[in-house]
Structure 1
Amino acid sequence: MVEPRRQRTFRCRFLCMLFLLSAGFFIGSAFVVTDYKERFLSWGFVDAMQNTRLKTCETQCRPQGSESLPKGIVSKTSDLEMRPLWGPLDKKKSKSSMNLLAIAAGIKQKESVNKIVKKFLSSDFVVMLFHYDGIVDDWRDLVWSDHAIHVSAVNQTKWWFAKRFLHPDIVSEYAYIFLWDEDLGIENFNVGRYLKIIKEEGLEISQPALDPNISEVHHHLTARDSRSKVHRKINKLIGGGRKCDANSTEPPCTGWVEMMAPVFSRASWHCAWHMIQNDLVHAWGLDFQLGYCAQGDRTKNIGIVDSEYIIHYGLPTLGGSVANKTEEPNQATHDMSSHSSEKLVRKRSFVELEIFKNRWKKAVKEDNCWIDPYKKPPQQGKS
């Protein structure tokens, strides 16, 4: 029986349509699968990139408190340079040669301080005065006064000021920090030559030698040796029957400076600042531990510069009453009060010394991760 023509035509069209639909389905599926794979791979790549970024960011060391800021806007350090209120911004100066002189100063030593500051200003120093008597305006007649930083707090020590105003982040721009007392004679001291010597000798912590004929010398190591340019050790008997010689490795025979005129490199000051105790304002005992901040061997990196020497007059200035401009003081009462205050200051200094020693011992005992580079080996018992 012959199939009707209309039915045959319909079947052909149906088969063609079915073929086209099947072909479209398979082709479309291929595209969908390919697109899914591409998206899947791209998502995996993005995840991998994000994980890598997270790991990289986790290893970055950011200053505490700046975590919410983009790294490039964070200004980690500061300095003591004065900035103009108007006009064009100054081009940043080279800091390689900049140094800092900080002096605890009272108005009674104005003439002495003026001589010291004038010598240092000629050698590109920033000057900072710590006014422990509260008097600032009476310094205004000096030509350099408006270019110095003045900080005032009544009856506070040099170390109190240093702990609060010479934080390592503030003074990190300065190659050397001279933290001096006010009662120093500098007629035989040249700043430029001193800097050249300590750089050549690799001294991280130093001080000018003291003229032994005029100065108040507390330890033999700081007395000037006229035969040398720099010395790091002494060879003689010191207090308590102790003997310093070429084999000595401990203060005050070597690796030691006195605290009236210390000079710190940038790196050594970063260390020393952390050792200054916030509540122990006289810093007694600190000098015997400064060797730990010498950035290496204290017997080599700490020294006394003999060719550039000073005089230490040893004037008792702390503990005196603050000057009163409106009243004439009774001299006898004033002298008695000052003498009593000086005794109390000295008594407090000894108390702080014992506190510092005990804190050091406690810190050494409790820190299991710290290794003492100067620890003495245990002595062998005699056989």
Structure 2
Amino acid sequence: AGPPPAAAATWPPSSPSSSSPRSRSSTTTSRATATQQRSGGKGAAAARWNWNRRTGAEGLPRGIVQTSSDMFLRPLWDPAANRANKNDRHKALLAMAVGISQMQNVDVMARKFLNESYTVMLFHYDGNVDGWRSLEWSDKAIHIVAPNQTKWWFAKRFLHPSVVAIYDFIFLWDEDLGVENFDPRRYIDIMVSEGLEITQPALDPDLSTDIHHRITIRNKMTKVHRRVYDNRSSMNCSDDSKGPPCTGWVEGMAPVFSRAAWKCVWHLIQNDLIHGWGLDMKLGYCAQGDRAEKVGVIDSEYVVHQGIPSLGGPSDTSKLPRRSLDLRTHIRRQSSAELEKFKERWEKAVREDDEWMDPFDA
């Protein structure tokens, strides 16, 4: 009667007992041989296997794999209704943690970016999304809700580099910035022309509050500055200064990152240290080169820092109940504790990584 017909090979096996180790090895070898023949030999097959392993898509043909995403809202019907991006040169994303008390200011900020067909993403830390429905652009923005979380918490979870890879620039801003003298398109053009990877808009010294570092103050005589000069004994910034906060530094309130820089910064953000204290001193390591050249403050497009600490309670302490004052105190204590933890982690990582060399270690 002859031998029984051969069973069809399946991959992966349905169970460990469905085939012997030898038959599984034979099946794998046959598949590898077929792949080599189709792709032109052992070298091509190895390259394909390595590529698939890097993406986690080894079970898929390469042409179907999409390794990135975006935040563009897609219509449920009528594909022609997709909003065209009139700014073909660059794509940008503005992401902010917001509360309803700052809606009027955020409205002004968002319009600046939406008018250039940039994407706006709002992280609602007070849980109130419905209150924003009255704004005509609300349905054009991405809304994400998580009570009492900071922009760094949101960014770590929702701005993975693969998700935002389509964007050339990431604006990770606070909600209390005045943008009357700021144009996002001109700002991006300056970043590109100056070869900058990490920046912030300069702060108007006449109207801003909470200016902590002189390097952030607007210089009316320049378009961009990359360092500050300060001969105070506590600072001593000069041409010999090689690092923050004299050069290669921006503050955490309004940073802007290139795509390449953000790929690095996202990994620098610590998952459990949600206030982000200490990150500013290390951002230069993500500048794709010399931080003294690749990090800068843009003077010609400047903002006003209003210094309104909305997360955790309002800022007018004369009208606050005692509980709100206590919340602000607890938040600052937590931020300080996280700063110390971040410093300890950095120092420990440097000690334990024998292959890493500090590019800025003089």
TM-score normalised to structure 2 length: 0.84
Per the TM alignment, residue 58 of structure 1 is displaced from its structure 2 partner at its CA by 2.3
Question: Which residue in the other structure is 1:12 paired with?
Answer: none
CA contact (8 A) 2:36 2:42 kept: no
Match for 1:168 among 161, 170, 188? 161
For residues 324 and 344 of structure 2, the distance between their equivalents in structure 1, rounded to whole angstroms, comes to 30
Gaps of 5+ in 2: 1-32
CA contact (8 A) 2:36 2:45 kept: no
Per the TM alignment, residue 198 of structure 1 is displaced from its structure 2 partner at its CA by 1.1
Question: Which residue in the other structure is 1:223 paired with?
Answer: 217
For residues 181 and 370 of structure 1, the distance between their equivalents in structure 2, rounded to whole angstroms, comes to 33
For residues 307 and 333 of structure 1, the distance between their equivalents in structure 2, rounded to whole angstroms, comes to 37
Question: Secondary structure in 2 aligned to 1:251?
Answer: coil
One-letter amino acid of the counterpart of residue 71, structure 2: L
Matching of residue 345 in structure 1 with residue 336 in structure 2: no
Question: Which residue in the other structure is 1:66 paired with?
Answer: 57
Q: Structure 1 residues 83 and 243, CA, compared in 2 at 3 Å: closer, same or farther?
A: same
Question: Which residue in the other structure is 1:362 paired with?
Answer: 348
Per the TM alignment, residue 333 of structure 1 is displaced from its structure 2 partner at its CA by 9.3
Larger mean Cα displacement after TM superposition, 96-105 or 340-349: 96-105
CA contact (8 A) 1:295 1:301 kept: yes
Question: Which residue in the other structure is 2:10 paired with?
Answer: none
One-letter amino acid of the counterpart of residue 57, structure 2: S
Question: Which residue in the other structure is 1:153 paired with?
Answer: 146
Aligned length: 322
Question: Secondary structure in 1 aligned to 2:143?
Answer: strand
One-letter amino acid of the counterpart of residue 298, structure 2: V
Q: Structure 1 residues 51 and 105, CA, compared in 2 at 3 Å: closer, same or farther?
A: closer
Matching of residue 57 in structure 1 with residue 45 in structure 2: yes
Match for 2:114 among 104, 121, 124? 121
Per the TM alignment, residue 48 of structure 1 is displaced from its structure 2 partner at its CA by 8.6
Q: Structure 1 residues 214 and 71, CA, compared in 2 at 3 Å: closer, same or farther?
A: same
Structure 1 vs Structure 2 CA RMSD: 2.3
Deviations 1:19-57 (A, max 9, x none): xxxxxxxxxxxxxxxxxxxxxxxxxx9999589634422
| Larger gyration radius, structure 1 or structure 2 | 1
Q: Structure 1 residues 364 and 93, CA, compared in 2 at 3 Å: closer, same or farther?
A: farther
CA contact (8 A) 1:206 1:257 kept: yes
CA contact (8 A) 1:282 1:349 kept: yes
One-letter amino acid of the counterpart of residue 354, structure 2: N
Question: Which residue in the other structure is 1:5 paired with?
Answer: none
Per the TM alignment, residue 237 of structure 1 is displaced from its structure 2 partner at its CA by 3.1
Question: Which residue in the other structure is 2:228 paired with?
Answer: 234
Question: Which residue in the other structure is 2:23 paired with?
Answer: none
Question: Which residue in the other structure is 1:190 paired with?
Answer: 183
Per the TM alignment, residue 97 of structure 1 is displaced from its structure 2 partner at its CA by 2.0
Matching of residue 264 in structure 1 with residue 250 in structure 2: no
Per the TM alignment, residue 192 of structure 1 is displaced from its structure 2 partner at its CA by 2.0
Question: Which residue in the other structure is 1:6 paired with?
Answer: none
Per the TM alignment, residue 178 of structure 1 is displaced from its structure 2 partner at its CA by 0.6
Identity of aligned residues (%): 52
Deviations 1:127-185 (A, max 9, x none): 00000000000100101000000001100000000000000001000011111100111
Question: Secondary structure in 1 aligned to 2:165?
Answer: coil
Per the TM alignment, residue 69 of structure 1 is displaced from its structure 2 partner at its CA by 1.1
For residues 147 and 274 of structure 1, the distance between their equivalents in structure 2, rounded to whole angstroms, comes to 29
Deviations 1:321-351 (A, max 9, x none): 9xxxxxxxxx999532111111100000111
Gaps of 5+ in 1: 1-44, 322-330, 377-383
Matching of residue 372 in structure 1 with residue 358 in structure 2: yes
For residues 122 and 225 of structure 1, the distance between their equivalents in structure 2, rounded to whole angstroms, comes to 27
CA contact (8 A) 1:318 1:345 kept: no
Question: Which residue in the other structure is 2:205 paired with?
Answer: 212
Deviations 1:96-127 (A, max 9, x none): 42210111110000000001111111112100
For residues 152 and 38 of structure 2, the distance between their equivalents in structure 1, rounded to whole angstroms, comes to 49
